[in-house]
Amino acid sequence: MIYLLDTSVYCQPLRRKPVEACLLRWKQAGDAACRISIVTVAEIEFGLNLENRAQRWEKYRTLLQNRLEVIETCAGVWRRFARMKARQQELGAIVADLDLLIAATAAHHEWTVATLNSRDFSRIEGIAWVEWKVDYC
C-alpha cells in the first residue's frame, strides 16, 4: 500500500509535541511506502516563511526535506480535482482546495491519504483515507 501523507501527518516531526501514534504509524509504514504532494511542500514552506526562523528551517531541512518522493500535480490530477470540487459543492460539503487537491492526487494514483484531518477527508467521496491519530494493532 502507498500512502500520500497529508500535511497534518508530514509536519509531525517539526512539532514541539508531535502525535506519537502518528509517528509510529509512519515508522511502521516506512518511508518507501509514503509520498507527499507538492501541495504539502508548499503548505510547509509557507508556514516556515511566515515564521521566518532559521532554526525551524534547519529542522525542516534535516528531518523532512528530500525525505519522501514529491508528487507533482499533473493534468490528470487537476481534472480529478475539478470533478471532486464540483461534487463537493453539489453535496454542500465544501472542503479547502488544498486538501481537495491532495485528495485528488491520491485518487488519481489510487493511493491512500494518511491524515490527522478526518473531519475534512471523511467528507470527500471517492478516496481512500486513514487517520493516523490513534494506535492500532
Q: Kindly tell me if the per-residue pLDDT of 135 is higher than 80.
A: no
Name the β-bridge partners of 131.
Answer: 115
Within a domain: residue 56?
A: yes
Q: Kindly tell me if the per-residue pLDDT of 133 is higher than 90.
A: no
pLDDT digit string, tens, across residues 91-128: 999 999 999 999 999 999 999 999 999 999 999 998 99
Within a domain: residue 118?
A: yes
Within a domain: residue 24?
A: yes
Element housing 3 (H / E): strand 3-5
Q: Kindly tell me if the per-residue pLDDT of 137 is higher than 70.
A: no
Q: What global pTM score does this model have? A: 0.93
Within a domain: residue 74?
A: yes
Q: Kindly tell me if the per-residue pLDDT of 136 is higher than 70.
A: no
Within a domain: residue 136?
A: no
Within a domain: residue 37?
A: yes
At residue 134, the pLDDT reads 67
pLDDT digit string, tens, across residues 13-66: 999 999 999 999 999 999 999 999 999 999 999 999 999 999 999 999 999 999
Within a domain: residue 8?
A: yes
Number of structural domains the chain divides into: 1
Within a domain: residue 137?
A: no
- State the CATH number of the domain containing residue 83: 3.40.50.1010
Domain residue limits at 105: 3-131
Cα separation of the two ends of the chain: 17
